């Protein structure tokens, strides 16, 4: 079935889409290229996805760009990923700013290389007043680490008598996460056919709809995104209750 933009816009859009961009290395290997080539093409796929989400009117995007576990990869590949973060920002920041995209890094970005940290910090400052699309870039990010970070901050607030134990609710806990003030992802997309969550937004995706595609991330196109959104729109989201 061929899906059109008009069909998609007839139904509610996901407010927040999160993407695990997987398969860059396998894409490169399948073409006899170095893994770095896959990551480079994957960056272009990311830009195309931002453009497509803008067209759909989706207001929040979170992408898993570099996990806390990715430091275990070969140093050459880690260096390439750090370089691509800076390269993407330097090349695309004016375009993102013009489109009203707010770049919001999440994770412990202090561990990034100086060049990558400088670029992502510049992007955050330059776009801080934008609100058309909130673009969360998960860098040196881990879901368990985020939850621990929030729990420690809440414990400190209790110890300093800023909070009482009974003040701690799900809503309050969410305010201590990197995504504070944002809706939880309605839709999580994972490319390359993997069926795991990989320590990504563990708190936030409790009731997200998942869409898995065998397409490797560098080959991910607007039509793939449209298919994901279409399937999301045609699911019955029960949140633990009874269906319609």
Residue with tokens 């607030």: 157
Q: Strand, helix or coil at 120?
A: helix
Q: Strand, helix or coil at 101?
A: strand
Are 74 and 106 in contact by the 8 Å Cβ rule? The answer is no
Of the candidates 48, 70, 108, 219, the residue annotated as catalytic is: 70
Element (H, E) at 98: helix 75-98
**108 labelled catalytic:** no
Residues 6+ apart with CB under 8 A from 28: 34, 35, 36, 37, 38, 39, 218
Residue with tokens 């970070």: 149
**70 labelled catalytic:** yes
Residues 6+ apart with CB under 8 A from 220: 21, 45, 48, 49, 191, 213
Strand segments, DSSP code E, in 38-197 are 60-67, 101-106, 133-141, 187-190
Of the candidates 22, 184, 186, 224, the residue annotated as catalytic is: 22
Find the length of the chain. 244
CA distance 158 to 152: 10
CA distance 192 to 10: 29
Return the number of other C-beta atoms located less than 10 Å from residue 14's C-beta. Answer: 23
Residues with a known catalytic role: 22, 70
């Amino acid at each position: 079935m061929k899906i059109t933009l008009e069909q998609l816009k007839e139904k509610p859009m996901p407010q927040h889409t999160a993407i695990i961009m997987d398969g860059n290395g396998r894409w490169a290997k399948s073409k006899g290229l170095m893994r770095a080539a896959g990551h480079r093409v994957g960056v272009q796929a990311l830009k195309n996805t931002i453009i497509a989400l803008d067209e759909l009117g989706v207001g929040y995007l979170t992408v898993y760009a570099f996990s806390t576990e990715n430091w275990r990869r070969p140093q050459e590949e880690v260096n390439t990923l750090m370089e691509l973060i800076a390269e993407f920002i330097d090349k695309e920041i004016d375009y993102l700013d013009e489109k009203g995209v707010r770049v919001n890094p999440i994770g412990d970005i202090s561990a990034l290389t100086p060049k990558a940290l400088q670029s992502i910090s510049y992007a955050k400052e330059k776009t801080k007043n934008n609100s058309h699309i909130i673009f969360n870039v998960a860098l040196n990010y881990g879901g368990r680490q985020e939850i621990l970070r929030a729990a420690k901050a809440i414990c400190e607030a209790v110890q300093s008598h800023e909070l009482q134990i009974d003040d701690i609710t799900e809503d309050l806990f969410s305010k201590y996460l990197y995504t504070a003030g944002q809706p939880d992802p309605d839709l999580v997309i994972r490319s390359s056919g993997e069926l795991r969550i990989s320590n990504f937004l563990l708190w936030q995706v409790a009731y997200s709809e998942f869409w898995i595609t065998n397409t490797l991330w560098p080959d991910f196109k607007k039509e793939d995104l449209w298919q994901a959104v279409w399937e999301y729109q045609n699911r019955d989201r029960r949140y633990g209750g009874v269906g319609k």
